[in-house]
């Protein structure tokens, strides 16, 4: 039963997890709220924060799990995609641990790990699995015949769904990251208050940039007539924005389920925490007779437990990274298979 210590530092969350086949023994992390002041992630600050947090968090995780670093069987790390500096801090730290304790290193793909988060706790999905991964940096539809046998069947042509939430929230005067604020406000608002057209994109790809422009024009028009238009209608505007984003996601998920038959559908990534999206996906699955898997809230956003879970599969296959591992900030999941992981 291997013991894996995994770390995640690809964006603005620093997280450490210790896991084995029997489950997660420790999972600690820190979100970098400092970026809120700047309205988005500042890469240099993210790297510095990771550097400051990785060692204390590792010590904390080991203490919680009640184990010594010498008992760890492999060290796993997010090798990409993500912010170059943030990834470099994480991979360097993991390489040092691997060298010092003479245990193998495992390089994990962040987007693969978001999907594998569903396998941390039961009930685990069954293959073939259709997963909609929606985060601040990515929006993808992935079809998996098995753990490592996957195909990206659709993705965004411009902004990611989380980005659409965050940029829209900013226009509505909400703090960064805006997704959770939109989610909370949408519960009290009228989703039909404003009609934001959903872009017509062929196939299974997504587009969210038109939505942003459309919202901006509507807000300009609204405030021209009523200076406090945004303040007065913030909940309705949030509900309308959420509805438009969710409509696009669900439309493509429905088409994907028709083209790629499966019994299990999953939502992954930070935006999977969105209540409107969860409800719409529940309804779709009820209609088409599929089983929906929603990750636990702590496994939706970036976390090291999903890195540890994915690393367990690599360990089982005996697939380890070389000590000269280089972080891959741009690592398309579509180019991903076990042969070219390192």
166 binds ligand KG4 (CB under 6 A): yes
Rounded least distance, CB 12 to Zn ion, Å: 10
In the list 14, 32, 133, 135, the residue contacting Zn ion (rule: CB under 5 A) is 135
Instruction: Give pairs for 249-252: CB < 8 Å, separation 24+.
Output: 249/132, 249/134, 249/139, 249/161, 249/206, 249/277, 249/280, 250/277, 250/280, 250/281, 250/284, 251/198, 252/132, 252/141, 252/154, 252/204, 252/205, 252/206
- Is the Cβ of residue 198 or residue 267 nearer to Zn ion in the bound state? 267
- Chosen from ligand KG4, Zn ion, none, partner binding at 139 (C-beta under 5 to 8 Å by type): none
Interface with ligand KG4 (CB under 6 A), residue from 270, 307, 312, 333: 270
Residue 177 engages ligand KG4 in binding (rule: CB under 6 A): yes
Interface residues for ligand KG4 in 64-123 (CB under 6 A)? none
- Should residue 135 be labelled a site residue for ligand KG4 when binding is judged by CB under 6 A? yes
Stretch that binds Zn ion, among 38-46, 75-83, 284-292, 302-310 (CB under 5 A): 302-310
Q: Which two tokens stand for residue 128?
A: 């073939």
User: Facing residues of 80 across strands?
Assistant: 109
* 98-104, Cβ contacts within 8 angstroms, sequence gap of 24 or more: 98/74, 98/323, 99/323, 101/69, 101/70, 101/72, 101/75, 103/72, 103/73, 103/74, 103/75, 104/73, 104/74, 104/75, 104/315, 104/320, 104/321
**How far apart are CB 83 and ligand KG4 at their closest, in Å?**
10
CA distance 332 to 267: 19
Nearest partner of 160 among 114, 128, 193, 195, judged by Cα: 114
Q: How many residues of this chain interact with ligand KG4, rule: CB under 6 A?
A: 19
Q: Which is nearer to Zn ion, 183 or 302 (CB)?
A: 302
CB of 220 to ligand KG4, least distance (A): 24
Q: Measured from the CB atom, is 104 or 178 closer to ligand KG4?
A: 178
Helices (H), the chain: 43-65, 84-101, 110-116, 161-171, 179-186, 209-225, 229-259, 275-288, 297-300, 304-317
Tell me if 25 contacts ligand KG4 by CB under 6 A: no
Task: Tabulate helix, strand, coil % of the chain (nearest 5).
Answer: 50, 20, 30
Among 13, 49, 159, 302, binds Zn ion (CB under 5 A): 302
Stretch that binds Zn ion, among 55-63, 134-142, 163-171, 214-222 (CB under 5 A): 134-142
Instruction: Give the interface segment with Zn ion, choosing from 32-40, 79-87, 186-194, 301-309 (CB under 5 A).
Output: 301-309
Question: What letter does residue 329 receive in the DSSP assignment?
Answer: S
Residues numbered 250-269 forming contacts with ligand KG4, rule: CB under 6 A: 269
Q: Does 271 bind ligand KG4 (CB under 6 A)?
A: yes
Sequence-ordered list of residues with C-beta below 8 angstroms from that of 1, at least 6 positions apart, any chain = 20, 21, 22
Q: Which is nearer to ligand KG4, 98 or 240 (CB)?
A: 240
Q: Which is nearer to ligand KG4, 104 or 177 (CB)?
A: 177
CA 49 – CA 193 distance, rounded (Å) = 41
- The one segment of 179-187, 192-200, 213-221, 222-230 that binds ligand KG4 by CB under 6 A: 179-187
Q: Does 136 bind ligand KG4 (CB under 6 A)?
A: yes
Where do contacts with ligand KG4 occur on this chain (CB under 6 A)?
A: 11, 135-137, 162, 165-166, 177-180, 183, 269-271, 273-274, 301-302
Footprint of Zn ion (CB under 5 A)? 135, 302
């Amino acid at each position: 039963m291997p013991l894996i210590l995994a770390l995640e530092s690809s964006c603005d969350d620093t997280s450490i997890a210790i896991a084995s086949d029997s489950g997660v023994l420790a999972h600690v992390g820190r979100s970098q709220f400092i970026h809120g002041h700047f309205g988005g992630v500042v890469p240099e600050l993210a790297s510095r924060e990771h550097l400051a947090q990785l060692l204390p968090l590792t010590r904390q995780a080991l203490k919680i799990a009640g184990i010594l670093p010498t008992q760890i069987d492999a060290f796993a790390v997010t090798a990409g995609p993500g912010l170059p500096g943030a990834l470099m801090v994480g991979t360097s730290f993991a390489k040092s641990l691997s060298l010092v304790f003479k245990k193998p290193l495992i390089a994990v793909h962040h987007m693969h790990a978001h999907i594998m988060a569903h396998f941390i706790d039961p009930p685990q999905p069954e293959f073939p699995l259709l997963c909609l991964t929606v985060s601040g940096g990515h929006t993808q539809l992935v079809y998996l015949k098995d753990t490592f046998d996957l195909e990206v069947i659709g993705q965004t042509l411009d902004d990611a769904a989380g980005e659409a939430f965050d940029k829209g929230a900013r226009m509505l005067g909400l703090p960064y990251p805006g997704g959770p604020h939109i989610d909370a406000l949408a519960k009290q608002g009228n989703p039909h208050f404003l009609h934001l057209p959903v872009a017509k994109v062929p196939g299974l790809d997504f587009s969210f940039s038109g939505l942003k422009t459309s919202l901006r024009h509507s807000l300009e028009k609204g405030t021209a007539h009523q200076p406090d238009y945004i303040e007065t209608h913030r909940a309705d505007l949030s509900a309308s924005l959420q509805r438009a984003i969710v409509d696009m996601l669900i439309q493509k998920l429905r088409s994907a389920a028709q083209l790629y038959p499966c019994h299990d559908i999953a939502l992954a990534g930070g935006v999977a925490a969105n209540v409107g999206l969860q409800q719409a996906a529940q309804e779709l699955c009820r209609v088409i007779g599929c089983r929906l898997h929603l990750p636990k809230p702590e496994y939706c956003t970036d976390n090291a437990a999903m890195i540890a879970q994915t690393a367990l599969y690599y360990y089982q296959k005996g697939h380890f990274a070389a000590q000269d591992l280089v972080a891959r900030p741009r690592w398309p999941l579509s180019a991903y298979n076990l042969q070219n992981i390192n």
